Structure 1
Amino acid sequence: MAPYESDHSTNAGEAEAEDVRAGRRKAARYVVPVAVMGVAAATIGLVPALADSGDPDLPKISAQQLIEKIAKSDVEQLSGTVKISTDLGLPDLGGLESSFASGAVQGGGSGGSSADPSSKLLELATGTHTLRVAADGPDKAKVSLLDSASEYSVIHNGTDLWGYDSKSNEVYHSTAPKSGTEKGQADVPATPQELADEALKAVDDTTSVTVDGTAQVAGRDAYKLLIKPKQSGTTVGAITIAVDSKTGLPLKFTLTPASGGAAVVDAGFTKVDFSKPAASTFDFTPPKGAKVTEGDDVKAPESSQKSEEDLSKGLEGLKTIGEGWNAIAEFDTGGKGGAGVPSGSSGNSDVDGFLNSLGDQVTGEFGSGTVFSTRLVNALITDDGKVYAGAVTKDALVKAANAAQ
């Protein structure tokens, strides 16, 4: 089906552009807690999970109207299955998940529990995964990472946030962040809805937005919203969001890189049901004999606290270089880096060796440093502890560091 014309084009008026921005600011409706990350700047990469199964014949709609449809979506109850594959261009992590978890323990981050969401982050950084999800409003959600022989679940029920690893029979418990507050460590965007909301924040005059036909996802008729940067120099090629034609809920999110090839980010429902999940879905009691770690009681050692304080001070002075898709975040880690890795890194030789394997040594007017690269986000860490990061090319980072001198 041919693409529909967008009313958000190069010649769009200021009033209309503001309407678009206002619409996408209202797009988030609920939060499903799940931990997902990539190595650089907490980037996530999710590769095509399911194929479209037909192009339904739907009434024409403009990009502005479709964005408003997403913003007005009031879906708060659902259950379903999301299939995720990851292709950030990272090397095989092998058994490094345990090394990263060990590093977090030394830094006080995981408290020694394999059930802590932060110790599960890297499992979704590579490979193919299936998530079973359920939500009932902003205070009840469950995400289960299914494996052939085990299951890991994060459950948010009222004021409680639970993590359970059936393989190790360990439980992690902490206080859930209040609704409307900033996301906690287990609340990184992972569903199509959350990813779409993040993408729509980028809709401005540096962006082309069109409706690119229709698709059928998880048995639902959907429109495809196509978001493309107008700027060169960004690593983002295009973002496609499949939006349910009836509810306005994003059903599938795909991000393809400017370099071409497989998608970097794609999260899609394979099954979805908008009926109210059973209340028992969100009940959790630690199994008999399980080791329970109370996250609120875990305290970081003084060395880790000092590193976090230094980083916090650096982030207070965070600056943004450039605009739109070429924006680069600049901040100071508060200390010199060793071999391009800033002080306050994991302290684990396996982890640090892995991070260094991702890096390319660079020099310029700024001095020297290391660029850590994925297919989406790149970060330059100078030897004196400054960081430049963004969805831009390596050359753009070096140029920004030179200009900052």
Structure 2
Amino acid sequence: MAPNDSADTNGTAPHGTARGVAGRRKAVRYIVPVAVAGVAAATIGLVPALASSGDPDLPEITAQELIEKIAASDTEQLSGTVKISTDLGIPSLGGLAGSFVPDGAGDKGGASADPQAKLTELASGTHTLRVAADGPDKQRVSVLDNASEYSIIHNGDQVWAYDSKSNAVYHAKEKAGKHTGRGEHPAPDGVPTTPKAFAEQALKAADGTTSVTVGGTAQVAGRDAYRLVLKPEQSGSTIGSITVAVDAKTGVPLKFTLQPSSGGKAAIDAGFTSVDFGKPAASSFSFTPPKGAEVTEADSAGSREKAAQAHQADGGLGALKGLNAKGEGVTVTGKGWSAIAEIKTPGAAGKPSKASGDVPAEAQQLLDSVGDKVTGTFGSGTVFKTRLVNALMTDDGRVYVGAVTKDALVKAADNAG
């Protein structure tokens, strides 16, 4: 969820926005990578948006202009409520979240208040969040439950997380001069919690591989907005389209909707149900551990910063290195929407695999029952599917994973030999 500051750090900016940029952009600006704003006209719709019947009647705008509007947004203060609905075709990850906490997430990765673990629960179901931001140094996001609340508060060099249900606290202190710049809220890298965060990740994949157009107008949280529509031009992607509702006045993404190529209901639908661009109360960013709370101290921010840089460098697929004890044996092929990670598991190094006969029969029976058997020149294996991300596990211990179809995974395995 860190804002992408590449438009400043490399000395360039999307055309038409340079005069509003001076040094590092404010951390909560809705910044689009330079590569996205500069996509060739052949892939960006140049036809202005026209309001449909019943939608707001707004001035015409092109996709290029709308992307620049997002990039130029200087909104520093906001508060509101966000509803996130996720239907990836997988069971709730709440009980498994602690198993996937990467290095650097904290000394006690399984702590009940650890943000990396808790926010993974957003990967399924419907959740209501309260968010607030007041500049780059003050943000708060709270996940509301029926009888409890989980909050992350960033104030200056202090980051706190509190789970009211378990009365557990997580605390991290950023090193001097090492501001993480995560921006609108202090959620862990790779765990989007607002429409802006979702949109930011989607736009990173748009360079040269995406049709970008304006699909009319809408009203979101009582505000007039334009619809920015992204559609992969590459074949084999499980992503059908992404629609981002952009506030007509501020340029802030208000709603993010991802439709899978297989059809049906949205796989991800995240949008503000209420939003206020005024200054939030100072008390929103204050926190003192309650009496009797168990406090877990995190590792230094340096390890999280390093992980964030690696995440940005490989489009997020670097997180899959967590499946390999040493982070070795991971190769990413393709780009944009068709990127596929090949992971050499222990089975590929002569350790337990189906081919070796060392996988327990009960475990292999379970794997076979939930996946689709496939064959190719690579041999044979099993494809495990969700509505967005699919994975092929070969019988000799290799894994291919990406937001691509089963056929694309098989082809990748064949090409790898």
**Alpha carbons of structure 1 residues 402 and 102: separation in structure 2 relative to 1, 3 Å:** closer
Query: Is 2:173 the counterpart of 1:179?
Result: no
Q: Name the counterpart of 2:394.
A: 382
Match of residue 292 from structure 2 = 289
Letter in 2 for 1:59: P
Residue 97 of structure 1 is matched in structure 2 by 94
Match of 1:201 in 2: 204
Aligned to 1:7: none
Q: CA RMSD in A?
A: 3.8
1:400 aligned to 381, 387, 412, which one?
Answer: 412
CA contact (8 A) 1:78 1:134 kept: yes
Q: Equivalent residue for 2:382?
A: 370
Q: Aligned AA for 2:237?
A: T
Structure 2 gap ranges (5+): 1-12, 30-51, 301-320, 355-361
- Residue range with higher mean Cα deviation, 225-234 or 267-276: 225-234
* TM-aligned CA distance change 1:203 to 1:112, over 3 Å: closer
Q: Give me the whole-angstrom Cα distance separating, in 1, the residues matched to 2:234 and 2:137.
A: 39
Which whole-Å deviations, capped at 9, do the CAs of 1:199-249 have from their partners, x for residues lacking one? 112223332111111001001100001111223321111111100011101
Tell me, what secondary structure is at the counterpart of 1:296?
coil
| Cα distance in 2 for residues equivalent to 1:28 and 1:394 | 41
| Mean Cα deviation higher: 122-131 or 138-147 | 122-131
Cα offset for 1:122?
4.3
Out of 315, 320, 325, the position equivalent to 2:333 is 320
Structure 2 counterpart SS, 1:288: coil
Write the mapping of 1:2-401 to structure 2, written as runs, cut at 5 A: 30=27, 54-91=54-91, 93=92, 97-98=94-95, 100-101=97-98, 110-176=108-174, 178-180=179-181, 186-187=188-189, 188-296=191-299, 310-315=325-330, 318-321=331-334, 323-333=335-345, 336=348, 359-401=371-413
2-structure distance, mates of 1:151, 1:354: 36
Residues in 2 aligned to 1:184 and 1:335: alpha-carbon distance in whole angstroms:
37
Q: Is the 8 A contact 2:171 2:298 kept in 1?
A: yes
TM-aligned CA deviation for residue 264 of structure 1: 0.7
Question: How far apart in 2 are the matches of 1:62 and 1:99?
Answer: 43
The equivalent of 1:44 in structure 2 is none
Task: Quickly say closer, same or farther: Cα 1:181–1:241, change in 2 above 3 A.
Answer: closer
Q: Which amino acid letter does the alignment assign opposite residue 258 of structure 2?
A: L
Cα–Cα, structure 1 residues 194 and 54, in superposed 2: closer, same or farther, change >3 Å? farther
Between stretches 242-251 and 201-210, larger displacement belongs to: 201-210
For these two proteins, the number of residue pairs brought into alignment is 344
Read off the aligned partner of 2:328 and give its amino acid letter.
K
Superposed displacement of residue 119, structure 1: 2.9
Deviation at 1:280, TM superposition (A): 1.9
1: CA distance between counterparts of 2:280 and 2:232? 38
> Which TM-score applies when normalising by structure 1?
0.74
Shift of 1:189: 2.0
Moved more, 169-178 or 242-251: 169-178
Distance in 2 of aligned mates of 1:294 and 1:85: 31
The more displaced of 202-211 and 270-279 is 202-211
Question: How far apart are the structure 1 equivalents of 2:246 and 2:145?
Answer: 29
Equivalent AA in structure 1 for residue 67 of structure 2: I
Structure 1 pair 282/385, CA: closer, same or farther in 2 (3 Å)? farther
Q: Which residue of 1 aligns with 2:306?
A: none
Cα deviation, residue 369, structure 1: 3.6
2:145 maps to a residue whose letter is D
**Runs (4+) off by over 6 Å:** 102-105, 181-185, 306-309, 352-357
Q: Say if 1:110 and 1:119, in contact at 8 Å, map to a contact too.
A: no
Distance change >3 Å, CA 160–CA 366, structure 1 → 2: farther
- Kept in 2, the 8 Å contact 1:339–1:369? The answer is no
What code does the residue aligned with 2:179 have?
Answer: K
Equivalent-residue separation in structure 2 for 1:261 and 1:239 (angstroms):
14
Tell me the SS of whatever aligns to 2:64: helix
Deviations 1:97-144 (A, max 9, x none): 335437869x98744421112332443222211000011222221110
Give deviations 1:50-100, integer Å, cap 9, x for gaps.
Answer: xx9951100000111001101101112111000111111114x3xx63354
Q: Structure 1 CA distance, aligned partners of 2:75 and 2:266? A: 27
Distance 2:213 2:81 in 1: 28
SS of 2:404's equivalent in the other structure is coil
Whether the aligned pair in 2 keeps the contact of 1:171 and 1:286 (CA below 8 Å) is: yes
Q: Give the whole-Å Cα distance in 2 for the aligned partners of 1:383 and 1:221.
A: 53
Show CA shifts across 1:306-355 (max 9, x none). Answer: 9877442234xx3323x442232334346547568xxxxxxxx99x9998
Aligned to 2:309: none
* Contact kept? 2:391, 2:401, Cα under 8 Å: yes
Q: Structure 1: how far apart are the matches of 2:371 and 2:125?
A: 21
Distance 1:242 1:151, change over 3 A: same
Does structure 2 retain, via aligned residues, the 8 Å contact 1:58–1:214?
Answer: yes
Task: From the superposition, tell whether residues 101 and 251 of structure 1 become closer, same or farther in structure 2 (CA, over 3 Å).
Answer: same
User: Does the 8 A contact of 1:173 with 1:294 survive in 2?
Assistant: yes
Q: Which has the higher contact order (CA 8 A, sep 6+)?
A: 1
Matched residues in 2 for 1:248 and 1:267: separation?
17
C-alpha separation in 2, matches of 1:252 and 1:99:
28
Change (3 A) 1:371 1:378: same
